[in-house]
Amino acid sequence: MASWKPLLQAAMDSHAHLKHSSFIQLATLGTSGRPANRTVVFRGFPDASDRIQIHTDSRSCKIEEIKHCPFGEICWYFTESWEQFRINGRIEIIDNSNSDAVKIQQREKAWHSISHKSKLQYLVPPPRLPYTEEPSKDYQLDPSAGPVDAFSVLILDPDQVDYVNLKSNVRWIFTSRMGDSGKIWMHEKVNP
Amino acid sequence: MASWKPLLQAAMDSHAHLKHSSFIQLATLGTSGRPANRTVVFRGFPDASDRIQIHTDSRSCKIEEIKHCPFGEICWYFTESWEQFRINGRIEIIDNSNSDAVKIQQREKAWHSISHKSKLQYLVPPPRLPYTEEPSKDYQLDPSAGPVDAFSVLILDPDQVDYVNLKSNVRWIFTSRMGDSGKIWMHEKVNP
């Protein structure tokens, strides 16, 4: 386990009563070369790894941005404990074009883990296109069916985690390197 | 006044009881070419403009990042009204090397607007350098003196604002262009 993960888990546990505590800000590099930033929902650590799972609409700008530059930084601020995690890493997209059996299964599992209401968001007209008033549609969705085309999973694989606790005034930088048997994490206490 | 500003002002007013509602996430482009993201504090609209003021330590990474690429995107999520503002624009740094009289005054005004405790943060050892245990220092600060060297002001001048209300499921994109007598804002309702 990555040495920063117990810190993050503890912060999540102590904020479990707050719905917004699973909302994180994901920065990517926009296709114009400018930084982009938006709130997304943390959807867990797949396979008990230290990777971060997020769901998104394949038609959203971030998909194109990540294809262009696969790196991102999550900023996760916990409002009651005053802790911030900045999680930097490479993002993998698992969309409907993926042919890897494990990835297909991962996307299907993710689809079945979300609510019916969340699923319906992937059926509505494409995000950011001009809004046109139209008779409200009754979108049908078979609960047993697999993911719709617009449903994508993002997996951020962290390389570096910058942790700050503004109450205790403590800051740790966690960095990783690839060892013979996987990722190895090191950490250093730095000035806040 | 920019057409998005009343929306933002209303969200701020309705969240005034929550300290964390003035905490925003600022994405910049890291010097490595990867996006960077961190929480900063909104410090107002200077001179009742539509620009966003932030304070930072001149020795923090974001200063070098902004010098390298002056664009940034603020993500501002309001936890109770489920509103998100993504504010994209160019960032100006006002630091101790600035020789413009108006900017010097702006930085001085900003310095005197912050608490004694906030001021002391600019006297401690540089952020992110390795932490060394040292006898706690008694930092002296003359309340009437001007800003210390490490105190910088960032001013983000918005070009585009992407507003989403997740309760009413409404999304507006505000874009600006330069007209003869200043910035002109246009807006479009888009799919959320």
Return the pLDDT at A135: 58
Return the pLDDT at A1: 60
Average predicted confidence (pLDDT) for chain A: 95
| Topology of the domain comprising A5-93+151-190 | Pnp Oxidase; Chain A (2.30.110)
What ipTM is given for this predicted complex?
Answer: 0.96
* Mean per-residue pLDDT, B83-90: 98
- What is the enclosing helix (H) or strand (E) of A109? helix A101-113
Count CB-CB contacts under 10 A for residue B72. Answer: 27
Burial of A43 (0-12, 13-18, 19+ CB in 10 A): middle
What are the pLDDT digits (tens) for A57-115? 999 999 999 999 999 999 999 999 999 999 999 999 999 999 999 999 999 999 999 99
What are the pLDDT digits (tens) for B103-118? 999 999 999 999 999 9
Return the pLDDT at B136: 65
| Topology of the domain comprising B5-124+141-190 | Pnp Oxidase; Chain A (2.30.110)
Residues 33-52 of chain B with CB under 8 A from chain A are 33-39
* Mean per-residue pLDDT, B87-95: 98
Domain ranges (residues) in chain A: 5-93+151-190
What are the pLDDT digits (tens) for B18-38? 999 999 999 999 999 999 999
- Sign of the dihedral through C-alpha A15, A21, A26, A27: negative
- B44: distance to nearest CA of chain A, Å? 20
Confidence band, pLDDT 50/70/90 cuts, at residue B88: very high
Burial of A102 (0-12, 13-18, 19+ CB in 10 A): exposed
Q: Test B124 with A191 for CB contact under 8 angstroms.
A: yes
Nearest to B128 among A28, A35, A191 (CB): A191
Task: Give how far Cα B38 sits from Cα of A9, A56, A72, B140, Å.
Answer: 19, 22, 12, 29
- Contact residues, chain B, for A128 at CB < 8 Å: 171, 173, 190-191
- Contact residues, chain A, for B39 at CB < 8 Å: 75, 77, 84
- Contact residues, chain B, for A173 at CB < 8 Å: 128
- A131: distance to nearest CA of chain B, Å? 4
Q: Answer whether A94's CB lies under 8 Å from A28's CB.
A: no
